[in-house]
Structure 1
Amino acid sequence: MKILVVMKDVPDLVEELELTDDSRLAVDDLSYVPSEWDDQALEEALLIKEDHPDTTVTVVALDTGDVDNMLFTALAKGADRAVKLVGDFGRDLSNRARAALLAQYLREQAFDVVLTGVQAIDDLDGQIAGLLAGLLEWPHASVVRNVEWHPDGVHLIQEYAGGRMAELTVSTPAVLGIQAARKPPRYVTVAKVRQIQKSAAIEEVEVEVPSVPEVRLRRLYKPEAAGHAEMWGEDIDTVVDQLVGLLKERKLLRS
């Protein structure tokens, strides 16, 4: 079984977001980390590999910045290959463009399953898995966990709103958006990553930037404070009296 894990680097949430003079996000001034959901997808792939030793795990990322460390870290965790897709593009790719670039690479490969995080914190779009599957005309499922390989396909659990879940069997090749791995993502030391950097290499594959429909960003701006919160303290009786008074004042409670 051959698994491909799609990885993306996203802004570190501890960073302060700043805007440029033309009302765009100052992306070059931010620190980047692997998307936490992609880390879950990688862990699920490695767990499948542990259950089926003949499985190979490849990680792929678009060259939108300094993604080498993210790929070497994936190799240190147990991935077999790392691929970086290079071309004339930057961080401002839409998810449609990202999916099209990934599809270019996948059409020349022979993977059984593609795993990607269900979403990423920089857009919360959650569409990469579906878009990629649509371009490849492969089966697809998102918000997925407990992926297991069987002769008739991959068995998985898909989560729905309201706490409902479904057990599904998906034929391969397929694209899956991973919500959570069966175990927390494994940790590797900096020393091990540095060791991998000396002994392993990242494959570079050139891809052409596609022409796809996209939404144009007109303006970004920080929210403006319109008011403030009034703290009522911790005394229950006082809080109840003030809440009742407020509801009466707003004509939401009859006397």
Structure 2
Amino acid sequence: MSGLRVLVPIKRVLDYTLKPRINAAQTAVENSALKHSMNPFDELSIEEAVRLRERKVPIDEITVFTAGPPKSQDMLRTAMALGADKGIHVRIEKGPELEPLGVAKLLKKVVEEQKSDLVILGKQSIDDDAGQTGQMLAGLLGWPQATQASKVEITDKTVTVIKEVDGGVETVKANLPMIITTDLRLNEPRYASLPNIMKAKKKPLEKKTLEDYGLDVEPRLKTIKVTEPPPRKGGVKVDDVDGMIGKLKELGAL
């Protein structure tokens, strides 16, 4: 099998340790002047691409890609410190965030440009939780897809993916080229060492714009209002099982 060209899309999101707050206009989550980091599911994707190479799967190149504001390139440098070979940054200064369909269209162009055989991306981003980009990309490319992977094996041109489903696990097989989306049980991402962080600064990073790809990525959706969920009511204590059953009946749960 000739060496694979792997594409790993990543996204800069509000750090998962922070509690999101709604902005004053109730149109989005407030994210200005707050800590951002790489989407956790994308960390799994980079780790898996690097592990495939470490397991002696022939890989010629691991490319990481992101579209976003200038600070997004920090995520690319982090990914390269973790083992990716090069990065591509489509710089977006202003305007609404790309919707999943727009991202999928952009990734299709990048896949064709980079001649990628395998795309590994997070099953969702933790900011909008859409969980659509991988599936849309597979549809646009006409490639097979395996979502929510918890184990990936590649032999020759065949990819075997195991994923957890209700009541057990499901195993699927497909031939390359292919789209894989990653789930939390797939692996444990490594930390970037200081020497690798320094080496990443010398790895190639291409800077592009949406105009370079000539795409229509105008939003199809309009956010009407964003609100926080209602506060949870406090629980009550009961003295015994009969009391619990009575309370459940009172609440209409039985």
If the TM-score is normalised by the length of the shorter chain, which range does it land in?
A: 0.7 to 0.9
Instruction: Supply the AA of the counterpart residue of 2:112.
Output: R
| 1:175 and 2:179 aligned | yes
SS in 2 for 1:17: coil
Return the match for 1:97 from 99, 102, 108.
102
Moved more, 140-149 or 11-20: 11-20
Q: Is the CA contact (8 Å cut-off) linking 2:120 and 2:179 kept in structure 1?
A: yes
Q: Is the CA contact (8 Å cut-off) linking 1:2 and 1:112 kept in structure 2?
A: yes
Percent sequence identity is: 28
Q: Residues 178-213 of structure 1: CA distance to partner in whole angstroms, max 9, x if unpaired?
A: 124654111114x34651354234211333452466
Q: Match for residue 240 of structure 1?
A: 241
Gaps of at least 5 residues in structure 1 are none
SS in 2 for 1:107: helix
Change (3 A) 1:109 1:198: closer
Instruction: Supply the AA of the counterpart residue of 2:206.
Output: E
| 1:200 and 2:203 aligned | yes
| 1:6 and 2:9 aligned | yes
Q: How many Å apart are 1:86 and its aligned residue?
A: 2.6
Number of equivalent positions: 246
Partners of 2:33 and 2:141 lie apart in 1 by: 35
Moved more, 145-154 or 84-93: 84-93
Partners of 1:110 and 1:68 lie apart in 2 by: 22
Q: How many Å apart are 1:247 and its aligned residue?
A: 4.3
Gaps of at least 5 residues in structure 2 are none
Partners of 2:249 and 2:120 lie apart in 1 by: 54
| 1:220 and 2:226 aligned | yes
Matches within 5 A, 1:146-185: 146-166=151-171, 168-180=172-184, 182-185=186-189
Q: Match for residue 32 of structure 1?
A: 36
Partners of 1:162 and 1:33 lie apart in 2 by: 33
| 1:140 and 2:145 aligned | yes
Q: How many Å apart are 1:172 and its aligned residue?
A: 1.5
Instruction: Supply the AA of the counterpart residue of 1:74.
Output: A
Change (3 A) 1:174 1:240: same
Q: How many Å apart are 1:19 and its aligned residue?
A: 2.9
Change (3 A) 1:244 1:19: closer
SS in 2 for 1:42: helix
Instruction: Supply the AA of the counterpart residue of 1:164.
Output: V
Return the match for 2:191 from 187, 191, 206.
187
TM-score, normalised relative to structure 1: 0.84
| Larger Rg, first or second structure (1 or 2) | 1
Q: How many Å apart are 1:175 and its aligned residue?
A: 1.0
Instruction: Supply the AA of the counterpart residue of 1:240.
Output: V
Instruction: Supply the AA of the counterpart residue of 1:203.
Output: E
Partners of 2:122 and 2:65 lie apart in 1 by: 13
Q: Match for residue 83 of structure 1?
A: 88
Instruction: Supply the AA of the counterpart residue of 1:2.
Output: R
